[in-house]
Amino acid sequence: MKETSNIKENIGKIKVLIVEDNVLNQKMASFLLKGLGFNNDVCVNGKVALDKIKTTNYDVVLMDVQMPEMDGYEATRQIRNELKLHMPIIATIGNTSEEEIKKCLANGMTDVISKPLKGDELYAMINKHLFPENVSENVNGSELD
Amino acid sequence: MEKNLNNDKKIIDLTYLIGLSKGDNGFVKKMITVFLEETPKEVDVLEESVNQTDYEVIKASAHKLKSTIPFIGLDKIIGKEVNEIESLARENSGIENIRASFKKIKESFELASAELEAFMLNN
């Protein structure tokens, strides 16, 4: 999917894993991603996410931070340190304080996005990290708001 | 059409959901159905933990509600109370204030649920 650097041509091949314990947030993220054209899978905590990531190649992970069994920080540390994977992991957070953002980045997350999610922000965020050489696409993404 | 869908709501505000749905009324109704199924359980857990002064559970459950209420615009009505409960619980203190805030949260949820049910019947 990274043979050409254009999100529009590749969008249907991009697989996103949503890691989120709140059913409303799961459905919202899935609906938005599907509407934008991305493929997505959903799982309920970090532990299940690790199992899925071991068997499926995901291009991007949307990671909630506070979840039962295994939180997003721990799951991210394991993805980076044990699975040695470097795909963008975007923390989905309700509290966008500087402290929270620092904590996410310190644990290996690539970036953060605030909840409730918005389609144009999600599109721009995925584009920014998968196709950094082509960030002007963000402008086109805004029409998908 | 969006304005009609959002008319006469005193507690809930469906602007966010309707905006995201891009005219897919089925999606709006699906999200409301999930809300009506899931949030009463969350409010029950919060109530139980408030009754038992279990700060750990109060904190976790207020945090969870915080990400749920914006879906129906309820953050504008009880966002302050939910934040206050979470902050107090984090400090393991202020159960009386937590109880007072929870009372408003519960009442608002009851009103919101009734409005959502009416919306489901009328749309």
Which residue in B104, B53, B46 sits closest to B78, CA to CA? B104
In a domain, A145, yes or no: no
ipTM above 0.90, yes or no: no
Check CB contact under 8 Å for B34 and A66: no
Counting the structural domains of chain A, the total is 1
- Topology, domain B2-122: Four Helix Bundle (Hemerythrin (Met), subunit A) (1.20.120)
Q: For the purposes of burial, counting CB atoms within 10 Å of the CB of B5, is it exposed (0-12), middle (13-18) or buried (19 or more)?
A: middle
Q: Do the Cβ atoms of A90 and A111 come closer than 8 Å?
A: yes
Tens-place pLDDT, residues B94-108: 999 999 999 999 999
- Structural domain containing residue A102: 8-130
Q: Which residues of B touch A31 (CB under 8 A)?
A: 20, 27
CATH number at residue A44: 3.40.50.2300
Check CB contact under 8 Å for A24 and B16: no
CB pairs under 8 A between A and B: 39
Determine the Cα–Cα distance for residues B78 and A98; give it in Å rounded to an integer: 24
Q: State the nearest Cα–Cα gap between B67 and chain A, in angstroms.
A: 6
Check CB contact under 8 Å for A22 and B67: yes
Determine the Cα–Cα distance for residues B87 and B90; give it in Å rounded to an integer: 5
Instruction: Tell me the pLDDT of chain B averaged across its residues.
Output: 91
For residue A139, pLDDT over 60 is answered with no
Nearest CA in chain A to B70: A116
Over residues A122-131, the mean pLDDT reads: 95
B70/A contact by beta carbon, under 8 A: yes
Tens-place pLDDT, residues A24-53: 999 999 999 999 999 999 999 999 999 999
Q: Which residue's structure tokens are 């041509």?
A: A9
Q: Which residues of A touch B38 (CB under 8 A)?
A: 22-24
More confident: B62 or A143:
B62
Over residues A84-111, the mean pLDDT reads: 95
For residue A69, pLDDT over 60 is answered with yes
Tens-place pLDDT, residues B33-83: 999 999 999 999 999 999 999 999 999 999 889 888 999 999 999 999 999
